[in-house]
Amino acid sequence: MNRLGTEDIEAEVKQARIFWPPSMINHALDSMGKIVALRPDSDYSELLIERRVRIQAVPECYGTLDYAWVDLWNRLVVIDYKYGQGHAVDVISIAGELNPQLMIYATALAEEYDFAFETVQINIVQPRIREKVPQEIVITPRDLIDFRDNVLIPGIDATKQWNAATVPGGHCRWCPAKDVACFVWRDADSTAPAEESYFDFD
Ligand code: SF4
């Protein structure tokens, strides 16, 4: 996005129109404008696209972050682009819990820069559900470190115990054990998991 000129973008759009419906192209263009608008007010900010990130202490915990603006010593902006329309995804739940997927992305990326930011901004752009306003929250690097050390790593360690608890909920939707091995899920009331709308991995 930061490398393409106007003519390049027009050529890409023309090509995309051959394969994709107009609504999808329009959503993508509109979202591109939103992502550009999220750039920190600095000449030094760099845009990362489709960046593979990994928690250093738990290398098996990784993912691909859609976009991030990196403005070292100032602001890290982490952006998730969700094109689904079945489930609205919130940056922060009604119960006040920050979206764990985005927290993991932000933590993993901030780790690469030794958390050298004043603030960390987390956004979800979900054009088919929330056309006008990207979801947004601003936290600090300390929040990410606390999340990593007190929630994420202890949580991952707990899943490695032989007697790890199985806790059914909206997260089961993405679990490979759901239909083949998990009796807890089968026995649970799966019709209304409380936080089902909370997760919507791409
Ligand atoms: S399906 Fe079972 S194992 Fe998977 S997340 Fe749900 S409760 Fe845990």
Q: Are 144 and 129 in contact (CB under 8 A)?
A: no
Ligand 1 pocket check for 175: Cβ under 6 Å: yes
Mutate to test the pocket of ligand 1, among 173, 175, 179, 180 (most ligand atoms within 8 A of CB): 175
Question: What does the pLDDT look like over 113-153, one tens digit per residue?
Answer: 999 999 999 999 988 886 655 688 999 999 999 999 999 99
Give the helix ranges, DSSP H, for 2-117.
6-19, 22-37, 100-112
Give the pLDDT mean for 9-13.
84
Q: With cut-offs at 50, 70 and 90, classify the pLDDT of residue 197.
A: very low
For residue 119, report the distance from its CA to the centre of ligand 1, in Å: 34
Ligand 1 pocket check for 197: Cβ under 6 Å: no
> What atom in ligand 1 is closest to the CA of residue 171?
5
Q: Please give the pLDDT value at position 96.
A: 86
DSSP 164: P
Q: Please give the pLDDT value at position 65.
A: 95
Ligand 1 pocket check for 104: Cβ under 6 Å: no
> What atom in ligand 1 is closest to the CA of residue 188?
7
Q: Please give the pLDDT value at position 173.
A: 79
Q: Please give the pLDDT value at position 189.
A: 55
Q: How many helices (H) and strands (E) does the chain have?
A: 6, 5
Q: Please give the pLDDT value at position 134.
A: 61
Ligand 1 pocket check for 116: Cβ under 6 Å: no
Q: Please give the pLDDT value at position 192.
A: 45
Dig out the tokens for 45 from the structure: 């900010």
Mutate to test the pocket of ligand 1, among 178, 187, 199 (most ligand atoms within 8 A of CB): 178
**Per-residue pLDDT at 13 exceeds 80:** yes
Label residue 69 left, alpha or beta by phi (over 0 means left) and psi (-120 to 50 means alpha).
Answer: beta
Q: Please give the pLDDT value at position 132.
A: 58
Ligand 1 pocket check for 168: Cβ under 6 Å: yes
For residue 154, report the distance from its CA to the centre of ligand 1, in Å: 18
Give the pLDDT mean for 40-60.
93
Q: Please give the pLDDT value at position 27.
A: 87
Q: With cut-offs at 50, 70 and 90, classify the pLDDT of residue 55.
A: very high
Q: Tokens 């091995």 label which residue? A: 181
> What atom in ligand 1 is closest to the CA of residue 178?
1
Query: Kindly report the CA angle at 8 between 46 and 85, in degrees rounded to 5?
Result: 70
Ligand 1 pocket check for 190: Cβ under 6 Å: no
Q: With cut-offs at 50, 70 and 90, classify the pLDDT of residue 195.
A: very low
Ligand 1 pocket check for 172: Cβ under 6 Å: yes
Question: What does the pLDDT look like over 58-100, one tens digit per residue?
Answer: 988 899 999 999 999 999 999 999 888 777 788 888 888 899 9
Question: What does the pLDDT look like over 156-190, one tens digit per residue?
Answer: 999 889 888 888 877 787 788 777 777 766 666 55
- Quote the CA–CA distance of 24 and 17 in Å, as a whole number: 9
**Side chain identity at 118, as an amino acid letter?**
E
Query: Kindly report the CA angle at 75 between 74 and 81, in degrees rounded to 5?
Result: 165
Q: Please give the pLDDT value at position 121.
A: 97
For residue 166, report the distance from its CA to the centre of ligand 1, in Å: 6
